[in-house]
Amino acid sequence: MARQIADRIAGPLGSLMLQLYIILAVIFLVAPVLAITAGSLTTTQYVVFPPQGITFQWYLRMFDRPEMLGSFGLSLAIAALAATIAAALGLLVALAMVRHKTRLNHLLWLLVVSPMMLPSVVLGFAFLQAYTQMGFGSSLLGLLAGHVVLVTPYAVALILTGLRSLDPTLELAARSLGATPSRALRKVTLPLILWSVVAGWGLAFLVSFGDAAVSVFLNAPEMVTLPVRIFDALRYSPLNPELTAISSGLVIVTLIVLVASASVMRFERLLGGTGQSGKPATKEA
């Protein structure tokens, strides 16, 4: 009886708490992005909110700053390469952890996720010290290596989730029908976990593209990523609407990657007709 009363009270209270959580999430997560975007449209020479008039001149002026365009291209290239390498490494690590369950799996997992546990500043300083001793500190190779280490845990976590949700008997069935291990992996396992690989790649790309704490230690004067370039410019003109326009560009790239990843995942499931567990997906009403 007491449990039923508690459930009745918790029902409306839980719904109210959920609505409050959504409202707070919108305020603290979405509102700053909207404020930055609105500030980049102002006609004044400094950022004001709400904007005084609407203009796109600050977006057009970005093309007159070659250093910003160069940093934007560098950030895109580093993020794409780091995400691709991280997805490949994540797939190998996830396969090893799922197929070879040993006592070392816990140690391997701790090693993989350790970059997520350390403060980014500590991690960036450690990268700088280690890579300098190896002879490629503050270089393109060092920057790429640091980003790969930084984002690999995110790819591993998502790909590992996809593998663990997969029915292992599907690959065993393919093996029993004469498929080699590599063919069973290519034709059965990989298509079924493609959604997790795409999600891992997308998340790794976003983390790398928006990173500044690690990049600031590994950048060189002639090689500066966009987030570091923005932070450096903010020290001299924090209310410059041109910088808010550039920051809005970061948001736009983030949204494009999120939408593209979601579209690829959705398209893959429609073609494959399978859910996360490898079972036939039912069509939703």
Q: pLDDT tens-digit profile of 85-129?
A: 999 999 998 888 888 777 787 888 888 888 888 888 899 899 989
Answer for the pair 277, 170: CB distance below 8 angstroms, yes or no: no
Mean pLDDT over 38-44 rounds to: 75
Is it the case that residue 79 has pLDDT exceeding 60?
yes
Whole-Å CA distances, 53 to 184, 238, 239? 60, 20, 16
Answer for the pair 274, 192: CB distance below 8 angstroms, yes or no: yes
pLDDT-derived band at 194 (thresholds 50, 70, 90) equals confident
Tens of pLDDT along 149-190? 999 999 999 998 888 887 777 777 877 777 777 777 777 778
What is the C-alpha to C-alpha distance for residues 3 and 62, in angstroms, rounded to an integer? 61
Answer for the pair 95, 156: CB distance below 8 angstroms, yes or no: no
Closest residue by Cα to residue 203 from 235, 160, 141, 143 = 160
Token pair, residue 151, equals 């984002």
Token pair, residue 212, equals 């500044």
Sign of CA dihedral 271, 275, 280, 282: negative
The pLDDT value given to residue 144 = 93
Closest residue by Cα to residue 198 from 263, 253, 151 = 263
At residue 52, the 3 state secondary structure works out as coil
The pLDDT value given to residue 2 = 46
Tens of pLDDT along 240-250? 777 888 888 78
Q: How far from the centroid of its chain's Cα atoms is residue 217's Cα?
A: 21
Is it the case that residue 6 has pLDDT exceeding 70?
no
Q: Which helix (H) or strand (E) holds 150?
A: helix 140-164
223 phi and psi, to 5 degrees? Answer: -145, 90
Residue ranges in 30-139 assigned as alpha helix (H): 31-39, 57-61, 66-99, 104-117, 120-134
What is the C-alpha to C-alpha distance for residues 145 and 74, in angstroms, rounded to an integer? 14
